Amino acid sequence: MIKAIAQFTLLVVSLTLPSFGAQAQTMSYGQQDVSCDSWTQDRELDGIRSHQYQAWVTGFISGAEWTSPLATADTDAGAIVGWTDQYCAENPLHDLHFAATVLVSELKDEANK
């Protein structure tokens, strides 16, 4: 009986968790209105906003890991921030939320290899 309840609970939870593929229907809170250009400028200043942005991006990646396996075993906060530095330098008109989603997609693709 306990096994049946556990299986049912697992089924309900798996059906109610949002999938990463349904991203367009999800809401992201925080830094989605911050441009990559702002990220780059604030990183050069190394001020409080830079640290807030870094915390948001690493938290976003961590949250994505909860909903879908990512290739994060060899990734740390420094690597995430470094990737975002490069992406934002190359794409200053993109926003930080989009940059983080691109990284999640890349990490997800890597995990599925």
Residue, of 112 and 56, whose pLDDT is higher: 56
Question: What is residue 30's predicted lDDT score, i.e. its pLDDT?
Answer: 60
pLDDT in tens, 27-41: 566 656 799 999 999
- Examine the pLDDT at 17 and tell me if it is beyond 70: no
Q: What is the pTM of this model?
A: 0.71
pLDDT in tens, 46-63: 999 999 999 999 999 988
Amino acid symbol at 92: P
- Asked if 103 contacts 83 with a C-beta cutoff of 8 angstroms, the reply is yes
